[in-house]
Amino acid sequence: MITLKNVRFKVGKHNILNNINMKLKRGKVYGLLGPNGAGKTTLFKALLNVIEYKGDIFKDYNHVTIGKLIEYPAFYPNLTCVENLKLHASYADIEYNDSIVNDLLGIVGLPDAKHKKFKELSMGMKQRLGVAKALMGNPNLLLLDEPTNGLDPMGMKDMRNLIEQNLKGKQRTIVISSHNLNEVSFVTDTFLFMREGKKILEIDNNEDIYMFGRVQQIPDHQNVKQAVTLLEDNKKEIYFLLSETNFNKLKTTNDFVYSDVQNLTLENLYIKLMSTDLIEVKSYV
């Protein structure tokens, strides 16, 4: 759907985005993970074309519309939900009518709050109204920056259900930036890890446990290449990342030579990536 090639952004001498390469596929939900200052929000701004980045962002087809919830949802406190959405639509030149606005409020679970003023809403309701705003115009790329920020456990669950049941679709790509690993893991197809402006790892979300270790030799077979993810540190030491199932298959072969194996949860994997200089490599050893 959208391909980023060597996307860079610098403020003074500081690289905020450093040669980002990735492809966002239609129908997928991506979890963008990284600490504050990793470049997640700046990457969203590059996708929105509101900063002067270097590199290229290609769209696979002409009509890509983008909806966004970036940082805190901005609304007029003394206007109602309906009034705020209609005002946004008029500013953004988006088609709207009472039926469209009512449908959007129904999708995000606010049908009974449409005449409430924004200042009267709970934090969770404000976030959901922000999602309704992002959905105006039926975007096929949806960018959600910390959508569960400030929410209590029930609000987080509501947001998760909203994404899973109402926002996902075959024609829509969703990118969710979050610090809440547990919540984002429920709805994400693929994790994108960022550190210091770099994309350091892309991995499918289909495992509860990841097997990580040093590698000296891996079988040179196509199916193995597709199953294993390789990382290296600044000393050029090579490490593997595998599902538990694929690791158990590989370790029975004579030409898989490894050591120092660890079982990592998503949280453990995140901590390891953010506390080291490991980065995914595309070359195959």
Each domain of the chain, given as residue ranges in start order, spans: 2-194, 207-281
CB-count exposure of residue 97 (10 Å: 0-12, 13-18, 19+)? exposed
Q: Taking the chain, what is the end-to-end CA distance rounded to the nearest angstrom?
A: 30
Residue 233 contacts residue 276 (beta carbons within 8 Å): yes
Strand 54-59 vs strand 2-11: parallel, antiparallel, or unpaired?
A: antiparallel
Secondary structure of the chain: what % helix, strand, coil (to 5)? 35, 35, 35
Q: Chain-centre distance of CA 20, in angstroms?
A: 14
How do strand 257-264 and strand 173-178 relate by DSSP bridges?
Answer: unpaired
Judge contact between 112 and 142, C-beta under 8 A. no
Q: Please provide the size of the chain in residues.
A: 285
The encoded tokens of residue 205 equal 């979300």
3-state secondary structure of 116: coil
Q: Closest Cα partner for 175 from 36, 33, 38, 279?
A: 33
Please tell me the predicted confidence (pLDDT) of residue 283. 54
Per-residue pLDDT of the chain (285 residues; tens, 9 = 90+): 799 999 999 998 889 999 999 999 999 999 999 998 899 999 999 999 999 999 999 887 667 889 999 877 789 999 999 999 999 999 888 888 889 999 999 999 999 999 999 999 998 999 999 999 999 998 999 999 988 888 888 888 888 899 998 898 888 999 999 888 888 999 999 999 999 999 999 999 988 899 999 998 888 777 777 788 999 999 999 999 998 888 988 888 878 889 999 999 999 999 999 999 999 997 544
d(CA 110, CA 114): 7
- Phi and psi at 45, nearest 5°, equal -65, -30
Query: Burial, 104: exposed, middle or buried (Cβ in 10 Å; 0-12, 13-18, 19+)?
Result: buried
Give the pLDDT score at 149.
81
33: its two tokens: 């993970």
Phi-psi map region of 10: left, alpha, beta (phi>0 left; psi -120 to 50 alpha):
beta
Closest by CA to 144, choosing from 109, 111, 187, 110, is: 187
Query: Given this model, what pLDDT does residue 231 score?
Result: 96
Closest to 1 measured CA to CA, from 27, 30, 21 = 27
d(Cα 282, Cα 101) in Å, to the nearest integer?
Answer: 46
Looking at residue 107, its pLDDT comes to 92
The pLDDT of residue 62: 64
- The Cα 73–Cα 70 span in angstroms is 7
Spatial distance between the Cα atoms of 210 and 197, rounded to a whole number of angstroms: 24
Superfamily of domain covering 2-194: P-loop containing nucleotide triphosphate hydrolases (3.40.50.300)
Question: How much is the pLDDT for 189?
Answer: 95
- CA 189 to chain centroid: 9
Residue 77 to residues 74, 116, 284: CA-CA distances in angstroms? Answer: 9, 10, 55
* Residues sharing a CB contact under 8 Å with residue 36, sequence separation 6 or more, in sequence order: none
- pTM of the entire predicted model: 0.91
